[in-house]
Structure 1
Amino acid sequence: LDRSNLHTFIFDEKEIEGFVITVSDEKYALCDKTSIGDNYWANSKKGAYGKGLGRTKSDPYKPVRTGLLGQMAVGELLGLPTDLKYREKGDKYDFLLGKYKVDVKCAMRDYGKGLIYHTNQWGKQIPLDKDIYIFSFVQEEDRHAQTAKVAVVGFASQKDVLKCPVKPGIKGNGHLNIEVNFSTLRPIQALIRLNMLIGFTEKVAV
Protein backbone atom coordinates (compact mmCIF):
# COMPACT_ATOMS: atom_id res chain seq x y z
CA LEU A 1 0.00 0.00 0.00
CA ASP A 2 1.44 3.35 -1.07
CA ARG A 3 0.90 5.60 1.94
CA SER A 4 1.91 8.64 -0.13
CA ASN A 5 -1.68 8.49 -1.41
CA LEU A 6 -3.01 9.16 2.10
CA HIS A 7 -5.13 12.29 2.35
CA THR A 8 -6.99 13.96 5.21
CA PHE A 9 -10.46 15.18 4.29
CA ILE A 10 -12.69 17.39 6.43
CA PHE A 11 -16.45 16.82 6.41
CA ASP A 12 -18.77 18.55 8.88
CA GLU A 13 -15.65 19.73 10.76
CA LYS A 14 -14.55 16.11 11.24
CA GLU A 15 -11.24 14.81 9.90
CA ILE A 16 -11.48 11.67 7.77
CA GLU A 17 -8.32 9.92 6.61
CA GLY A 18 -8.72 8.44 3.15
CA PHE A 19 -6.76 8.05 -0.06
CA VAL A 20 -6.43 9.81 -3.40
CA ILE A 21 -5.77 7.32 -6.20
CA THR A 22 -4.63 8.28 -9.69
CA VAL A 23 -6.29 6.37 -12.54
CA SER A 24 -4.45 6.99 -15.80
CA ASP A 25 -3.12 5.59 -19.05
CA GLU A 26 -4.55 2.17 -19.97
CA LYS A 27 -6.71 1.95 -16.84
CA TYR A 28 -8.38 5.29 -17.56
CA ALA A 29 -8.72 4.34 -21.24
CA LEU A 30 -10.46 1.10 -20.23
CA CYS A 31 -12.96 2.98 -18.05
CA ASP A 32 -13.60 5.47 -20.84
CA LYS A 33 -14.07 2.81 -23.52
CA THR A 34 -16.28 0.60 -21.34
CA SER A 35 -18.60 3.50 -20.48
CA ILE A 36 -19.58 4.20 -24.09
CA GLY A 37 -22.90 3.12 -25.61
CA ASP A 38 -23.67 -0.59 -25.77
CA ASN A 39 -20.41 -1.50 -24.04
CA TYR A 40 -22.11 -1.00 -20.67
CA TRP A 41 -25.52 -2.36 -19.68
CA ALA A 42 -26.52 0.62 -17.53
CA ASN A 43 -26.73 2.80 -20.65
CA SER A 44 -29.83 0.85 -21.70
CA LYS A 45 -31.72 1.46 -18.46
CA LYS A 46 -34.88 3.56 -18.57
CA GLY A 47 -35.95 6.51 -16.46
CA ALA A 48 -34.29 9.71 -15.29
CA TYR A 49 -31.83 7.79 -13.12
CA GLY A 50 -31.20 5.09 -15.72
CA LYS A 51 -28.15 6.26 -17.65
CA GLY A 52 -27.11 8.47 -14.78
CA LEU A 53 -27.78 12.06 -13.82
CA GLY A 54 -25.15 14.59 -14.82
CA ARG A 55 -24.94 13.73 -18.52
CA THR A 56 -24.24 16.52 -20.99
CA LYS A 57 -24.30 16.68 -24.79
CA SER A 58 -20.51 16.92 -24.87
CA ASP A 59 -20.04 14.14 -22.30
CA PRO A 60 -23.09 11.83 -22.40
CA TYR A 61 -21.38 8.91 -20.66
CA LYS A 62 -19.82 10.84 -17.78
CA PRO A 63 -21.98 9.23 -15.03
CA VAL A 64 -21.05 5.71 -16.12
CA ARG A 65 -17.38 6.61 -16.58
CA THR A 66 -17.33 8.19 -13.13
CA GLY A 67 -18.63 4.99 -11.56
CA LEU A 68 -16.04 2.91 -13.39
CA LEU A 69 -13.23 5.24 -12.31
CA GLY A 70 -14.37 4.74 -8.72
CA GLN A 71 -14.25 0.97 -9.14
CA MET A 72 -10.81 1.13 -10.73
CA ALA A 73 -9.47 3.33 -7.91
CA VAL A 74 -10.82 1.04 -5.19
CA GLY A 75 -9.42 -2.01 -6.97
CA GLU A 76 -6.02 -0.29 -7.06
CA LEU A 77 -6.27 0.59 -3.37
CA LEU A 78 -7.28 -2.89 -2.22
CA GLY A 79 -5.07 -4.73 -4.68
CA LEU A 80 -8.06 -6.44 -6.30
CA PRO A 81 -8.76 -7.02 -10.01
CA THR A 82 -11.45 -4.74 -11.43
CA ASP A 83 -13.93 -6.57 -13.65
CA LEU A 84 -15.57 -4.22 -16.18
CA LYS A 85 -17.02 -6.92 -18.42
CA TYR A 86 -20.49 -6.41 -19.93
CA ARG A 87 -23.23 -8.28 -18.08
CA GLU A 88 -26.94 -8.26 -18.91
CA LYS A 89 -28.77 -6.56 -16.02
CA GLY A 90 -25.46 -5.46 -14.53
CA ASP A 91 -23.21 -6.85 -11.82
CA LYS A 92 -24.32 -8.41 -8.54
CA TYR A 93 -21.45 -6.58 -6.83
CA ASP A 94 -18.31 -4.60 -7.68
CA PHE A 95 -15.96 -6.61 -5.47
CA LEU A 96 -16.13 -9.62 -3.18
CA LEU A 97 -14.20 -9.50 0.10
CA GLY A 98 -14.46 -13.04 1.39
CA LYS A 99 -18.22 -13.49 1.78
CA TYR A 100 -18.96 -9.74 1.73
CA LYS A 101 -20.47 -8.15 -1.39
CA VAL A 102 -19.06 -4.67 -1.99
CA ASP A 103 -20.58 -1.78 -3.96
CA VAL A 104 -18.51 1.27 -4.90
CA LYS A 105 -20.23 4.64 -5.11
CA CYS A 106 -18.38 7.42 -6.91
CA ALA A 107 -19.64 10.99 -7.31
CA MET A 108 -18.57 13.43 -10.03
CA ARG A 109 -17.32 15.85 -7.37
CA ASP A 110 -17.22 16.33 -3.61
CA TYR A 111 -20.78 16.75 -2.35
CA GLY A 112 -19.87 15.79 1.23
CA LYS A 113 -22.20 12.81 0.96
CA GLY A 114 -22.89 9.75 -1.15
CA LEU A 115 -26.19 8.61 -2.61
CA ILE A 116 -27.68 5.13 -2.83
CA TYR A 117 -30.69 4.68 -5.10
CA HIS A 118 -33.70 3.85 -2.89
CA THR A 119 -36.91 4.19 -4.93
CA ASN A 120 -37.29 4.76 -8.67
CA GLN A 121 -39.62 7.31 -10.28
CA TRP A 122 -42.36 4.66 -10.63
CA GLY A 123 -42.37 3.95 -6.88
CA LYS A 124 -40.45 0.67 -6.93
CA GLN A 125 -38.02 0.29 -4.03
CA ILE A 126 -34.51 -0.87 -4.93
CA PRO A 127 -33.16 -3.72 -2.74
CA LEU A 128 -30.28 -2.80 -0.45
CA ASP A 129 -28.44 -6.04 -1.11
CA LYS A 130 -24.74 -5.26 -0.61
CA ASP A 131 -22.86 -5.82 2.64
CA ILE A 132 -20.37 -2.97 2.27
CA TYR A 133 -20.64 0.39 0.48
CA ILE A 134 -17.44 2.28 -0.35
CA PHE A 135 -17.77 6.01 -1.08
CA SER A 136 -15.56 8.05 -3.37
CA PHE A 137 -15.61 11.05 -5.68
CA VAL A 138 -13.63 12.33 -8.65
CA GLN A 139 -11.29 15.04 -7.42
CA GLU A 140 -9.75 15.87 -10.81
CA GLU A 141 -10.21 14.59 -14.35
CA ASP A 142 -8.56 15.36 -17.69
CA ARG A 143 -10.19 13.40 -20.49
CA HIS A 144 -7.70 14.60 -23.07
CA ALA A 145 -4.72 13.43 -20.98
CA GLN A 146 -6.71 10.35 -19.91
CA THR A 147 -6.11 10.74 -16.21
CA ALA A 148 -8.21 11.23 -13.09
CA LYS A 149 -7.67 11.52 -9.35
CA VAL A 150 -10.27 9.66 -7.30
CA ALA A 151 -10.75 10.33 -3.59
CA VAL A 152 -11.67 7.18 -1.67
CA VAL A 153 -13.20 8.51 1.53
CA GLY A 154 -14.52 5.60 3.61
CA PHE A 155 -17.15 2.90 3.83
CA ALA A 156 -20.44 1.97 5.47
CA SER A 157 -21.97 -1.37 6.34
CA GLN A 158 -25.48 -2.25 5.24
CA LYS A 159 -26.64 -1.64 8.83
CA ASP A 160 -25.03 1.81 8.77
CA VAL A 161 -26.81 2.67 5.52
CA LEU A 162 -30.19 1.58 6.89
CA LYS A 163 -29.88 4.27 9.57
CA CYS A 164 -29.37 7.06 7.02
CA PRO A 165 -32.17 9.38 5.84
CA VAL A 166 -34.10 8.82 2.62
CA LYS A 167 -34.65 12.02 0.64
CA PRO A 168 -36.03 13.07 -2.77
CA GLY A 169 -33.43 13.39 -5.50
CA ILE A 170 -32.52 16.97 -6.36
CA LYS A 171 -32.58 16.09 -10.05
CA GLY A 172 -34.63 13.46 -11.81
CA ASN A 173 -38.34 12.74 -11.70
CA GLY A 174 -39.49 11.78 -8.23
CA HIS A 175 -36.92 9.14 -7.28
CA LEU A 176 -35.61 8.78 -3.73
CA ASN A 177 -32.04 8.38 -2.49
CA ILE A 178 -30.46 7.26 0.75
CA GLU A 179 -28.07 10.04 1.77
CA VAL A 180 -24.88 8.92 3.50
CA ASN A 181 -22.85 11.80 4.95
CA PHE A 182 -19.11 11.32 4.52
CA SER A 183 -18.56 12.43 8.13
CA THR A 184 -20.33 9.26 9.34
CA LEU A 185 -18.24 6.79 7.32
CA ARG A 186 -15.98 4.11 8.77
CA PRO A 187 -12.25 4.50 8.00
CA ILE A 188 -11.20 2.89 4.74
CA GLN A 189 -8.04 1.61 6.48
CA ALA A 190 -10.22 -0.84 8.41
CA LEU A 191 -11.44 -2.30 5.13
CA ILE A 192 -7.89 -2.51 3.82
CA ARG A 193 -6.89 -4.49 6.92
CA LEU A 194 -9.92 -6.78 6.49
CA ASN A 195 -8.96 -7.42 2.88
CA MET A 196 -5.38 -8.24 3.88
CA LEU A 197 -6.62 -10.61 6.60
CA ILE A 198 -8.96 -12.38 4.17
CA GLY A 199 -6.15 -12.71 1.64
CA PHE A 200 -3.79 -14.14 4.28
CA THR A 201 -6.45 -16.59 5.52
CA GLU A 202 -7.18 -17.80 1.99
CA LYS A 203 -3.46 -18.38 1.33
CA VAL A 204 -3.12 -20.39 4.55
CA ALA A 205 -6.21 -22.47 3.63
CA VAL A 206 -4.66 -23.37 0.28
Structure 2
Amino acid sequence: MESITHNLPVQHTSFVGRESEIAEIVALLDNEYCRLVTLLGPGGIGKTRLALKAAEALMQVDGGEGAACPYPDGLYFVSLQPAASAAQIVSAIIAALDWHPPERGNPTAELLAHLRDKRLLLILDNFEHLVAEAALVQELLHGAPNVKIVVTSREVLNLAEEWLFAVEGMALPAEDAAEGDGDAPPTSDAVTLFVQRAQRVRRHFALAEDQ
Protein backbone atom coordinates (compact mmCIF):
# COMPACT_ATOMS: atom_id res chain seq x y z
CA MET A 1 0.00 0.00 0.00
CA GLU A 2 1.51 3.32 -1.03
CA SER A 3 1.28 6.19 1.42
CA ILE A 4 -0.63 9.24 0.23
CA THR A 5 0.98 12.65 0.64
CA HIS A 6 -1.04 14.93 2.88
CA ASN A 7 -0.78 17.64 5.50
CA LEU A 8 -4.00 16.90 7.39
CA PRO A 9 -3.63 18.20 10.95
CA VAL A 10 -3.61 15.72 13.82
CA GLN A 11 -6.78 15.98 15.89
CA HIS A 12 -6.58 15.84 19.67
CA THR A 13 -10.25 15.25 20.43
CA SER A 14 -12.50 12.38 19.45
CA PHE A 15 -14.86 12.47 16.48
CA VAL A 16 -18.32 11.05 17.00
CA GLY A 17 -20.91 10.02 14.42
CA ARG A 18 -21.63 11.71 11.08
CA GLU A 19 -20.84 8.52 9.19
CA SER A 20 -23.64 9.18 6.70
CA GLU A 21 -22.43 12.73 6.05
CA ILE A 22 -18.87 11.50 5.46
CA ALA A 23 -20.16 8.91 2.99
CA GLU A 24 -22.24 11.56 1.19
CA ILE A 25 -19.25 13.90 0.80
CA VAL A 26 -17.06 11.06 -0.47
CA ALA A 27 -19.80 10.14 -2.96
CA LEU A 28 -20.07 13.75 -4.15
CA LEU A 29 -16.33 13.93 -4.78
CA ASP A 30 -16.53 10.63 -6.62
CA ASN A 31 -18.92 12.26 -9.10
CA GLU A 32 -16.89 13.34 -12.12
CA TYR A 33 -19.07 16.42 -12.56
CA CYS A 34 -18.58 17.59 -8.97
CA ARG A 35 -15.29 19.41 -8.45
CA LEU A 36 -16.22 21.95 -5.79
CA VAL A 37 -18.08 21.04 -2.59
CA THR A 38 -18.92 23.77 -0.08
CA LEU A 39 -19.64 22.54 3.44
CA LEU A 40 -22.02 25.26 4.55
CA GLY A 41 -23.04 25.98 8.12
CA PRO A 42 -22.71 28.27 11.13
CA GLY A 43 -19.52 28.57 13.12
CA GLY A 44 -18.79 25.69 15.48
CA ILE A 45 -21.15 23.24 13.78
CA GLY A 46 -18.30 20.90 12.77
CA LYS A 47 -17.55 21.77 9.14
CA THR A 48 -13.77 21.56 9.47
CA ARG A 49 -13.73 18.22 11.29
CA LEU A 50 -16.22 16.80 8.80
CA ALA A 51 -14.04 17.88 5.87
CA LEU A 52 -10.98 16.31 7.50
CA LYS A 53 -12.79 13.03 8.22
CA ALA A 54 -13.98 12.87 4.61
CA ALA A 55 -10.39 13.42 3.47
CA GLU A 56 -9.20 10.65 5.78
CA ALA A 57 -11.84 8.35 4.31
CA LEU A 58 -10.57 9.16 0.82
CA MET A 59 -7.05 8.19 1.85
CA GLN A 60 -8.05 4.68 2.87
CA VAL A 61 -6.55 2.56 0.12
CA ASP A 62 -7.78 -1.00 -0.20
CA GLY A 63 -4.97 -3.22 -1.38
CA GLY A 64 -7.41 -5.85 -2.60
CA GLU A 65 -10.26 -5.31 -4.99
CA GLY A 66 -11.08 -1.81 -3.73
CA ALA A 67 -10.23 1.32 -5.64
CA ALA A 68 -7.10 3.28 -4.77
CA CYS A 69 -7.20 6.84 -3.46
CA PRO A 70 -8.37 9.09 -6.31
CA TYR A 71 -5.83 11.76 -5.31
CA PRO A 72 -2.37 10.25 -5.86
CA ASP A 73 -0.77 13.69 -5.70
CA GLY A 74 -2.10 14.32 -2.23
CA LEU A 75 -4.73 15.89 -0.02
CA TYR A 76 -3.96 19.30 1.41
CA PHE A 77 -5.59 21.31 4.19
CA VAL A 78 -5.36 25.08 3.72
CA SER A 79 -6.31 27.30 6.65
CA LEU A 80 -7.61 30.62 5.34
CA GLN A 81 -8.45 32.21 8.67
CA PRO A 82 -5.53 34.68 8.47
CA ALA A 83 -5.95 35.37 4.73
CA ALA A 84 -7.47 38.67 3.60
CA SER A 85 -6.97 38.71 -0.19
CA ALA A 86 -6.67 36.49 -3.25
CA ALA A 87 -2.89 36.85 -3.09
CA GLN A 88 -2.90 35.57 0.47
CA ILE A 89 -5.11 32.63 -0.52
CA VAL A 90 -2.52 31.72 -3.16
CA SER A 91 0.27 32.06 -0.59
CA ALA A 92 -1.62 29.82 1.85
CA ILE A 93 -2.11 27.13 -0.81
CA ILE A 94 1.56 27.28 -1.81
CA ALA A 95 2.59 26.93 1.84
CA ALA A 96 0.23 23.97 2.36
CA LEU A 97 1.68 22.24 -0.69
CA ASP A 98 5.19 22.83 0.73
CA TRP A 99 6.18 23.95 -2.74
CA HIS A 100 8.51 26.80 -3.68
CA PRO A 101 7.60 28.68 -6.89
CA PRO A 102 10.15 30.73 -8.84
CA GLU A 103 10.85 33.96 -6.98
CA ARG A 104 10.31 36.28 -9.95
CA GLY A 105 7.20 34.64 -11.38
CA ASN A 106 3.56 35.54 -10.85
CA PRO A 107 2.48 33.37 -7.87
CA THR A 108 -1.02 32.68 -9.20
CA ALA A 109 0.20 31.76 -12.69
CA GLU A 110 2.96 29.60 -11.22
CA LEU A 111 0.49 27.84 -8.94
CA LEU A 112 -1.86 27.11 -11.83
CA ALA A 113 1.02 25.72 -13.88
CA HIS A 114 2.12 23.56 -10.95
CA LEU A 115 -1.38 22.15 -10.41
CA ARG A 116 -2.28 21.71 -14.08
CA ASP A 117 -1.40 18.01 -14.26
CA LYS A 118 -1.91 17.14 -10.60
CA ARG A 119 -4.64 14.90 -9.20
CA LEU A 120 -5.15 16.25 -5.72
CA LEU A 121 -7.70 17.56 -3.23
CA LEU A 122 -7.57 20.99 -1.62
CA ILE A 123 -9.53 21.74 1.55
CA LEU A 124 -9.97 25.51 1.80
CA ASP A 125 -11.02 26.10 5.40
CA ASN A 126 -12.86 29.20 6.66
CA PHE A 127 -13.68 30.88 3.35
CA GLU A 128 -16.62 33.01 4.51
CA HIS A 129 -14.64 36.26 4.82
CA LEU A 130 -13.14 35.73 1.36
CA VAL A 131 -16.29 35.22 -0.72
CA ALA A 132 -15.39 38.31 -2.75
CA GLU A 133 -12.30 36.39 -3.91
CA ALA A 134 -14.25 33.30 -5.01
CA ALA A 135 -13.22 33.91 -8.63
CA LEU A 136 -9.81 32.54 -7.65
CA VAL A 137 -11.41 29.19 -6.81
CA GLN A 138 -13.05 29.18 -10.22
CA GLU A 139 -9.68 29.98 -11.81
CA LEU A 140 -8.10 27.02 -10.00
CA LEU A 141 -10.85 24.68 -11.20
CA HIS A 142 -10.51 25.82 -14.81
CA GLY A 143 -6.71 25.82 -14.82
CA ALA A 144 -6.22 22.51 -13.03
CA PRO A 145 -8.81 20.07 -14.42
CA ASN A 146 -7.91 17.17 -12.12
CA VAL A 147 -7.96 19.14 -8.88
CA LYS A 148 -11.02 18.99 -6.64
CA ILE A 149 -11.79 21.43 -3.86
CA VAL A 150 -13.69 21.22 -0.59
CA VAL A 151 -14.53 24.57 0.99
CA THR A 152 -15.80 25.14 4.51
CA SER A 153 -17.74 28.37 4.84
CA ARG A 154 -20.57 30.16 6.57
CA GLU A 155 -21.46 31.74 3.22
CA VAL A 156 -22.02 30.32 -0.27
CA LEU A 157 -19.42 31.13 -2.92
CA ASN A 158 -22.07 31.62 -5.63
CA LEU A 159 -20.04 29.83 -8.28
CA ALA A 160 -21.60 27.81 -11.10
CA GLU A 161 -19.33 24.89 -10.19
CA GLU A 162 -20.38 24.86 -6.53
CA TRP A 163 -22.20 21.89 -4.96
CA LEU A 164 -23.63 22.83 -1.56
CA PHE A 165 -23.61 20.47 1.42
CA ALA A 166 -25.43 21.87 4.45
CA VAL A 167 -23.84 20.82 7.73
CA GLU A 168 -26.40 20.60 10.51
CA GLY A 169 -26.21 19.90 14.22
CA MET A 170 -26.07 16.37 15.54
CA ALA A 171 -29.36 14.61 16.16
CA LEU A 172 -30.66 14.39 19.72
CA PRO A 173 -32.33 11.24 21.07
CA ALA A 174 -35.78 10.56 19.69
CA GLU A 175 -38.65 11.56 21.97
CA ASP A 176 -39.61 7.97 22.69
CA ALA A 177 -35.99 7.13 23.51
CA ALA A 178 -35.77 10.16 25.79
CA GLU A 179 -38.58 8.68 27.88
CA GLY A 180 -36.23 5.87 28.78
CA ASP A 181 -35.85 2.26 27.78
CA GLY A 182 -34.82 0.09 30.67
CA ASP A 183 -32.07 1.35 32.93
CA ALA A 184 -29.87 2.98 30.26
CA PRO A 185 -30.05 6.73 29.59
CA PRO A 186 -30.89 7.72 25.99
CA THR A 187 -28.01 7.93 23.58
CA SER A 188 -27.28 9.70 20.32
CA ASP A 189 -24.19 11.08 18.61
CA ALA A 190 -24.80 14.45 20.27
CA VAL A 191 -25.13 12.88 23.73
CA THR A 192 -22.05 10.69 23.20
CA LEU A 193 -19.99 13.70 22.16
CA PHE A 194 -21.24 15.69 25.17
CA VAL A 195 -20.27 12.90 27.58
CA GLN A 196 -16.81 12.52 26.03
CA ARG A 197 -16.15 16.25 26.29
CA ALA A 198 -17.42 16.34 29.88
CA GLN A 199 -15.12 13.46 30.82
CA ARG A 200 -12.13 15.53 29.73
CA VAL A 201 -12.68 17.71 32.81
CA ARG A 202 -14.52 15.21 35.06
CA ARG A 203 -13.23 11.76 34.24
CA HIS A 204 -16.00 9.93 36.13
CA PHE A 205 -18.80 11.95 34.57
CA ALA A 206 -21.82 9.89 33.48
CA LEU A 207 -25.38 10.75 32.57
CA ALA A 208 -27.99 9.95 35.18
CA GLU A 209 -31.04 7.99 34.09
CA ASP A 210 -33.26 11.07 34.37
CA GLN A 211 -30.98 13.18 32.15
**If the length of structure 2 is used for normalisation, what is the TM-score?**
0.25
Considering fraction of residues, name the structure with more helix.
2
The structure with higher relative contact order (CA 8 Å, sep 6+) is 2
Q: Which has the larger radius of gyration?
A: 2
Q: Which has the higher strand share?
A: 1
